[in-house]
Structure formats: structure tokens, C-alpha cells
Structure 1
Amino acid sequence: MSKRKPRQIDYSLEELEEFQESIFQAFADVQDPRVLTGAIRHKLIDILFITLCAVLCGADKIKEVAVYAEERETWLTNVLKLENGVPHYSTFWWTFVMLDPTEFHNGFSKWISTLVRQDDNQVYAIDGKALRGTAIKGRPNSFIHTVSLWACGQQLTLGQVKVKDKSNEITAIPKLLEMIDITGATITIDAMGTQTAIAAQIIEDGGEYILALKGNQSSLHDEVSNYFIQAQQVEFEGVDHQSYHMIEEGHGRLEKRSFFVTEDIDWLPDYDRWKKLKTIILLKTERTIDSVTSTELRMYISSLPADARRIAYAIRSHWGIESCHWILDIAFREDTLRARIGHIAENLSFIRKMALILLKQEKQTKGGIELKRKKASWNPDYLLKLMNVKF
């Protein structure tokens, strides 16, 4: 029987220094909340780095982070040159409870900014997420909400803002838009962001928008919906439009997505309230499972001209942030985590997003995010590889 040769490891502790330096520089200005409490035995940056390593290796809770640190103390001491060993559970806990999430977010944004390349036709998606596990017992709707900004081409979370509840999600959108230069980019937002003020801000900042229509703009939604229902009845005959079609098949499922785009909007009541509004869009999804077909219609408005292919790409790209949220719930169990004291939920959400970015950028390993996390916990060399990924 032939023996398999051990694979060559092409990453090292020396290469890890580049990654550490990027983290250290990005978070250098983050104020350590423990300064007011007295002696500090462990640097804040070391606590953040150890937590990131732990989450990459499968830790979902602070207790698990502390156990990881204990089990990997020799390795972490070698990597970080720890003078006082690894932090205790209470150190991790109180650090994340007290750490100002605004400062943490600023560090997170600085780190991300070194990774993002500005692509042609850049698409940024904004979407909200509920951390359902943080709900207070007896108050099922008291969970923490966050709104995130997503670079679709690079599949990176660029920013995150916490809000009190879902109804306040629209207050976070202007803050997220101010975090980046959106010149020439297309911003996609679910129905929560379909507001005239948000559309105006995007245009004034040099971007374009695609905004979903639902009940929050019921009159506009009904007008656009009726227009496209009538257009379909005559198979778009005489309707000046563009269309683009996508078909996906697999696992006994067939999906056909048809995008219809028109600049025929002069009839639309109060259309001039929406800055630079140029097109209305119909996305018709026909989904067949076990010979049973269902149809779903979605409506959008946009400042883009009637380029159906470009618009289809942007709308499809928006689903990447929804996929990110699904992965956080499934692979990181974010929807079940109950910690909500102080700022711990929001700060750990940043760490999970950092870990997800690194895991998604590693393309060589076949398998999902959960498998990669297990592999990192089994093999420190693979953990180093995750942190040496070139974006």
C-alpha cells in the first residue's frame, strides 16, 4: 500500500505577522474599557485576536472562547508572546460587555477597508437581522436588531449598526451609507429602506439605487404591480421594456427568474418625489419542486436605466447578504445565542463576521463553513492558512 506524502505547508508564523499587523493597526485606537478598573494583565488586542481564533475554530460563546484559550495556551503564547498566559473567562466576558461597539466598529471598518477592491459596477447591499436568541424571557420581540452593509462582489460585511427594533432599521441606513464612498456604485435595499430621503442621499453621494417595494409603500407597490400584471396579460406587447432570464436547476428543484425593466414611468403618481427615478422592475420567480410550480412576484424601483442584465445582477447580488445572515444563524448558531448584557451581543457579532470573511475567502477546502471551522480546530496550520488568505 502506497503512503500519501504529507502536504507541504506554505504558510508560517512569519507570514502570520502580516495578518496580526493588519489587525493591530486597525484596532490600535480602540479604547480598552478596562483602563478605569485598574491593572491590565492582557492587552486588548490579544483578547480580540484570541477570540477571533477561537471563533474560527468553532467557539460560539464566551465560555467556549475561554476553554479554547486554555487548551491552546502553548500555541497562543508562542504566537502572541503572552507574558501572563491566556486570559481567564471573566476577562473575556467583561471586555466584550464593556467594549464600546462604536469604537470596535471603527476598528472593524478600518480592517475591512484594507480588503475591499473597488470593482466596476460595484454593488452594496443593506439588510437587517434580528439576534433572536437575545430576546428577554416573556418578551419575544425584545431581541437585538442590527443592520449591515455588504460588499456583494467581495462578499464582505463592511459595517454594522445596532438599532432598538425593526421599526428603527431605517435610521441606521444613512449612517451605513456615510461609512464608504459609494460613487458609481449601486445600493440595493430591502423594502425597509424604500424612502425618498434615502434615495436622495444615495444620488447626492454619487451612487445609484434599487429599492424593493412592499407594504411600507403600499400605494406605489400597488401601482407598479398593476402595471406589470397588465403588461403580462398582453405578454408585454407594445410595452417598451428589457428582459433578462436566469434558470437554476438542482436537487429536484427548478427555478426560473425573469426580470422585466421599463423606463415607462411618466404615468406613475408622484414619481418625481423619488430623486432620479428612471425604472420600475418586475422579478417573476417560477419555482418547480416535485412537479408543483409556484410563482412569486417582486417589484422594485431604480435610478438605473433599463439595463435588465445589470439590474438582474444587482438584485441577485443582494441575496448574498441574506445568505450571510443564514450562515451566521446555521454555522455560528447566532440566532440561538442569548448573551445580551452590556455590549456583548453586538461586539461578538463583529467577531463572527470577521471570522466568516476569512472562512469564505479560503477557497481550496471543499465543504461548508462548519467543516472549515472544525478543520481549523483540528489543525493549527490550517488556522494559520485562514489568516494568511490573500483577498
Structure 2
Amino acid sequence: MPNPKVSSEKISGFSSFFADLKDPRRTHQGNRLYPLEEILFLCIAAVISGADTWTSINLFGKSKLDWLKKWYPYENGIPSHDVLGKVFAALEPGAFSRCFISWVNSIADTTRGEVVAIDGKTICRSDDKGKGKSAIHVVSAFASENGLCLGQLAVASKSNEITAIPELLELLALKGCTVTIDAMGCQKNIAKTIVEKDADYILMVKGNQKGLRDQIEKLFSIKPVASENKDSDLGHGRIEHRKCEVINQLNFLDDRQEWVGLKSVIRITSERISKDTGKGTTQIRYYISSLDTDAKSINRAVRSHWSVENKLHWVLDVVFKEDASLKKKDNSALNYNIIAKMALTLMDREKSTKKSKPSKRLLAALDDNYRDKILRV
């Protein structure tokens, strides 16, 4: 229970969503020296403050024990790094993930038309070849405008994304949003699930739907384009020109009735020119969508999809050192992934400074008041 000397309002936003999470430790350990809520709070506060290992989390806790007691009693002090590792190796990640999703749903403010990108990432070095354990693959939902990870599910490999995506969609509040997924998610049941959630979809079509792709290519050779949009982007040593074309006359598209909500097919032509060499490459991508003819919005949504790479995956790798971690034991890597996403969410919602994420973590480590500010958001 929280320290009675501290206002429960301070931690209610955290504890109310994680208080019922089942403690994986054996009941015969009695009252346990370190309550699970205290361990979770310690880890999130430590990761916000720059800790990336169980040892550094333990060191943070020992040095900030007086501050931690503002929030929880910590009557028995701080658990060792071995205790932390064992708890998170045993903690059931599915239940932890559902708690995370409920918490994010309570604070997320997704707006109509917001792009929610569904994308997978393999956590490098989470495998254990000696024990025949494969690396963990996580499918995440990322609200690009708000910069929030709305939830995630772990799967055995990238090929299992097809079954994981509908399960993840069912857990999310998506009304009014536009869900974007790469070719792996171009499945009829996934389109149906998105529409049933009162959302729209833009699904990439590639080789896994060859018949559909061939028909879309043919449509663009015989049907007029209903809407077109062009934009350009300068950065990363290149110039990129994109043209988005939309067709909504689908009477020649076989099986179109089996794709729930289908209203348009899309062709995006990207031309990239190197600033150094002047050489260019052209790529054509095709999509299906429940949106109609607004090529400008569709072009923006497709471009927003890739924000999940540099605003979530890249941050987890570079800022939170997820891929450099050696958390191999049982559920450790996946549970750390959830903790890092919670820390990232809290940091992104703290708007009093425009400092970079590494600078925010350093400031949180040095300044108790700033850490308070992040955790009270």
C-alpha cells in the first residue's frame, strides 16, 4: 500500500492499473520483503532516470530511497539486482501487457483521423541459443501524432504477426483512427476487425497477396485516378518526391466484397535522389483502404506509418538500449520492453521542456522535482 503520508492522488494513475497484477513469487514466501507494486514503481522511476540494467536499477533505488518513500513505504529497502531479475523473469508478460494497455487507454487522447501504425520488432539478443530460445518478436501499436505506444503483443516470430494483430486490435480503443499495417497485415479478417472497431484501414499489398496486387496494377492501367497528391521531403542526405494516386471505381476488382469496408486502392510512387551522387531510385507501392478519395490524407497517413521506426523502435534501441541488453532469462526481455515503453510514454507526455530524451533522462536522474513532474503526468 502507498505511504499514508503521501497523497494517494499522486500514484493512483499508476497503482490502480497494476495493483491486481499477479505476483509470480511463491506464496510460501509469506508477506514477501518487497511488494510487487514497489518493485514496478522502482523500475519505472529508475528507467526514466537512465537505468538500463537490474544492477543500475538497484543502485538508483539505494541512492534515491528517501525519495521513493514519498510514494511507497519501502519498509525493507531496495531489492537486489538478483531479486529484480527473478521477478521480471517470472512475471507473466501477457498480463503485464494488458495492464499497460489499460493504463495507456486511460491517458491517451487519440483524435479522429489519427494514424495508428501496427508494426513488429525483434528484440535483438533476447534469444538464448544454448537453451533453444528464439529472439522475441513484439507487435506494437503506435499513435503517430501523439507519439504514444498504445499496446503490444509478443509472438514467436515475425510470421506469427498475422495471428497477433487481430488480438492486439481487440484490446485497443481505435474509434475514428486510421490503422496502417505493412504487407503482413493485409488479411481479410484484419480489415474486418478494424472496421468493427469503428476505425479505417490502409493495408500494404505485396507478394503475399499477389492476385490482389496484380488486379490493382491492372486497375491503374484502365481506370481514371479519382484523387492525386504530391509532396517532397529533404533530409538524410536525399531528396524524396512522393506521388499518391487513389482509385475508387472498384467494379473490376475480384472479391472486393470480401474486404469489409473497402473503398479505394492506392498507388504511391517514391523517387529518391542522393544529394551526393545525384543518382535516383524509384519505388512503387500499392495499398487498399476503407478511406475514399482524399489522396492528401492518405499520403500523410502512409508517411506517418514509418514514424513507428524512428519514434518507437529507434528510441527503444538507442535511448533505452533494448537491443544491447542481456536480459535473456525467461520473460525478462519482454517485460523490460513494457517498462521502457511506460517510461517513454511518461517522458513524452512531460512537455515543460523540449530537451531530447537522453537529456530528459539525465535531468530526471539529477533532479527529484523533475522526476516527480514526469511521474505525475
Pairing 1:347–2:335 present: yes
Asked if structure 1 preserves the Cα contact closer than 8 Å seen for 2:34 and 2:79, the reply is yes
Q: CA deviation at 1:257?
A: 2.2
Percent sequence identity over matched residues?
37
Counterpart in the other structure of 1:266 = 251
- Counterparts of 2:373 and 2:7, CA distance in 1: 9
- Which has the higher mean CA deviation after the structures are superposed, 89-98 or 16-25? 16-25
- Counterparts of 1:37 and 1:246, CA distance in 2: 64
- Counterparts of 2:280 and 2:120, CA distance in 1: 30
Q: Deviations over 1:250-309 (max 9, x none)?
A: 464322222111113222233333223211111222222223332222211111111112
2:348 to 351, 360, 383: 360
Relative to 1, partners in 2 of residues 1:277 and 1:107: Cα closer, same or farther, differing over 3 Å?
same
| TM-score normalised by structure 1 residue count | 0.87
1:253 to 238, 249, 254: 238
- Which has the higher mean CA deviation after the structures are superposed, 178-187 or 339-348? 178-187
Asked if structure 2 preserves the Cα contact closer than 8 Å seen for 1:263 and 1:278, the reply is yes
Asked if structure 2 preserves the Cα contact closer than 8 Å seen for 1:16 and 1:384, the reply is no
Counterpart in the other structure of 1:205 = 197
Counterpart in the other structure of 1:278 = 263
Asked if structure 1 preserves the Cα contact closer than 8 Å seen for 2:144 and 2:307, the reply is yes
- Counterparts of 2:6 and 2:33, CA distance in 1: 27
Question: Residue 329 of structure 1 aligns to a residue in which SS?
Answer: helix
Counterpart in the other structure of 1:50 = 42
Q: Aligned partner of 2:195: which letter? A: I
- Which has the higher mean CA deviation after the structures are superposed, 109-118 or 14-23? 14-23
Pairing 1:34–2:36 present: no
Counterpart in the other structure of 1:297 = 284
Pairing 1:20–2:7 present: no
2:309 to 322, 327, 335: 322
Q: CA deviation at 1:191?
A: 0.9
- Which has the higher mean CA deviation after the structures are superposed, 137-146 or 354-363? 137-146
Q: CA deviation at 1:17?
A: 5.5
Counterpart in the other structure of 1:388 = 376
Asked if structure 2 preserves the Cα contact closer than 8 Å seen for 1:15 and 1:388, the reply is no
- Counterparts of 1:126 and 1:19, CA distance in 2: 32
Asked if structure 2 preserves the Cα contact closer than 8 Å seen for 1:191 and 1:216, the reply is yes
Asked if structure 2 preserves the Cα contact closer than 8 Å seen for 1:132 and 1:336, the reply is yes
Q: CA deviation at 1:83?
A: 1.2
Asked if structure 2 preserves the Cα contact closer than 8 Å seen for 1:279 and 1:302, the reply is yes
Q: CA deviation at 1:140?
A: 10
Asked if structure 1 preserves the Cα contact closer than 8 Å seen for 2:271 and 2:280, the reply is yes
Q: CA deviation at 1:383?
A: 1.5
Relative to 1, partners in 2 of residues 1:138 and 1:308: Cα closer, same or farther, differing over 3 Å?
farther
Q: CA deviation at 1:170?
A: 1.0
| TM-score normalised by structure 2 residue count | 0.90
Q: CA deviation at 1:336?
A: 2.2
Q: CA deviation at 1:182?
A: 3.1
Q: Aligned partner of 2:289: which letter? A: S
Q: Aligned partner of 1:265: which letter? A: L
Structure 1 gaps of 5+ residues are: 1-13, 232-237
Question: Residue 59 of structure 1 aligns to a residue in which SS?
Answer: coil
Query: What is the number of equivalent residue pairs in this alignment?
Result: 369
Asked if structure 1 preserves the Cα contact closer than 8 Å seen for 2:250 and 2:264, the reply is yes
Relative to 1, partners in 2 of residues 1:347 and 1:116: Cα closer, same or farther, differing over 3 Å?
same
Relative to 1, partners in 2 of residues 1:43 and 1:127: Cα closer, same or farther, differing over 3 Å?
same
Q: Aligned partner of 2:322: which letter? A: E
Asked if structure 1 preserves the Cα contact closer than 8 Å seen for 2:170 and 2:193, the reply is no
Q: Deviations over 1:213-260 (max 9, x none)?
A: 1221123223324554x58xxxxxx72321122222246432222211
Relative to 1, partners in 2 of residues 1:208 and 1:35: Cα closer, same or farther, differing over 3 Å?
same
Q: Aligned partner of 1:179: which letter? A: L
Relative to 1, partners in 2 of residues 1:125 and 1:246: Cα closer, same or farther, differing over 3 Å?
same
Relative to 1, partners in 2 of residues 1:347 and 1:331: Cα closer, same or farther, differing over 3 Å?
same
Pairing 1:178–2:165 present: no
Asked if structure 1 preserves the Cα contact closer than 8 Å seen for 2:110 and 2:146, the reply is no
Counterpart in the other structure of 1:97 = 89
Q: Aligned partner of 1:355: which letter? A: A
- Counterparts of 2:36 and 2:97, CA distance in 1: 15
Counterpart in the other structure of 1:6 = none
- Counterparts of 1:351 and 1:252, CA distance in 2: 34
- Counterparts of 1:326 and 1:15, CA distance in 2: 37
- Counterparts of 1:15 and 1:363, CA distance in 2: 25
Q: CA deviation at 1:103?
A: 1.9
Q: Aligned partner of 2:74: which letter? A: L
- Counterparts of 1:182 and 1:171, CA distance in 2: 19
Q: Aligned partner of 1:58: which letter? A: G
Q: What is the root-mean-square deviation of aligned Cα atoms in Å?
A: 2.4
Relative to 1, partners in 2 of residues 1:64 and 1:264: Cα closer, same or farther, differing over 3 Å?
same
Q: CA deviation at 1:352?
A: 0.4
